[in-house]
Amino acid sequence: MKGVIHPLSVHLPIALLLMAFMTMCYWLFKGLATSVFENRIYSLTRFNTVAGLVFVLLAMATGFRDVLAGYWVTFNSPLGKWLYVKVTLAVLIVIIYSTFLWQSRKKPHYLQEDPKIMTWCLITQLVGFLLVITVTALGTMLVFYPHVLARLG
Ligand code: HEM
Q: Write the pLDDT tens digit of every residue in 71-81.
A: 778 888 889 99
Whether ligand 1 lies within 6 angstroms of the CB of 55 is answered as no
Cα–Cα distance measured from residue 24 to residue 91, given in angstroms and rounded to the nearest whole number: 22
- Nearest CA to 115 out of 96, 26, 123 is that of 123
Once rounded to an integer, what is the mean pLDDT over residues 129-151?
95
Query: Mutation test of ligand 1: which of 6, 56, 57 has the most ligand atoms closer than 8 Å to its C-beta?
Result: 6
Once rounded to an integer, what is the mean pLDDT over residues 139-151?
92
Q: 64 C-alpha vs ligand 1 centroid, how far in Å?
A: 9
Closest protein CA for atom 41 of ligand 1: 7
Cα–Cα distance measured from residue 80 to residue 76, given in angstroms and rounded to the nearest whole number: 5
Q: Is the pLDDT of residue 2 over 80?
A: no
Global pTM? 0.93
Cα–Cα distance measured from residue 122 to residue 28, given in angstroms and rounded to the nearest whole number: 9
* Share of residues in the chain with pLDDT > 90 (%): 87
Q: Write the pLDDT tens digit of every residue in 50-109.
A: 999 999 999 999 999 999 888 778 888 889 999 999 999 999 999 999 999 999 999 999
Give the chain's length. Answer: 153
- Of ligand 1's atoms, which has the minimum distance to the CA of residue 90? 27
Q: Is the pLDDT of residue 1 over 70?
A: no
- Of ligand 1's atoms, which has the minimum distance to the CA of residue 93? 27
Q: What local confidence, expressed as pLDDT, does residue 70 receive?
A: 80
Q: Is the pLDDT of residue 33 over 60?
A: yes
Q: 10 C-alpha vs ligand 1 centroid, how far in Å?
A: 7
DSSP state of 112: G
* Share of residues in the chain with pLDDT > 70 (%): 99
Q: 86 C-alpha vs ligand 1 centroid, how far in Å?
A: 8
Cα–Cα distance measured from residue 90 to residue 98, given in angstroms and rounded to the nearest whole number: 12
Cα–Cα distance measured from residue 153 to residue 128, given in angstroms and rounded to the nearest whole number: 25
- Of ligand 1's atoms, which has the minimum distance to the CA of residue 4? 16
Q: What local confidence, expressed as pLDDT, does residue 104 receive?
A: 97
Cα–Cα distance measured from residue 8 to residue 1, given in angstroms and rounded to the nearest whole number: 12
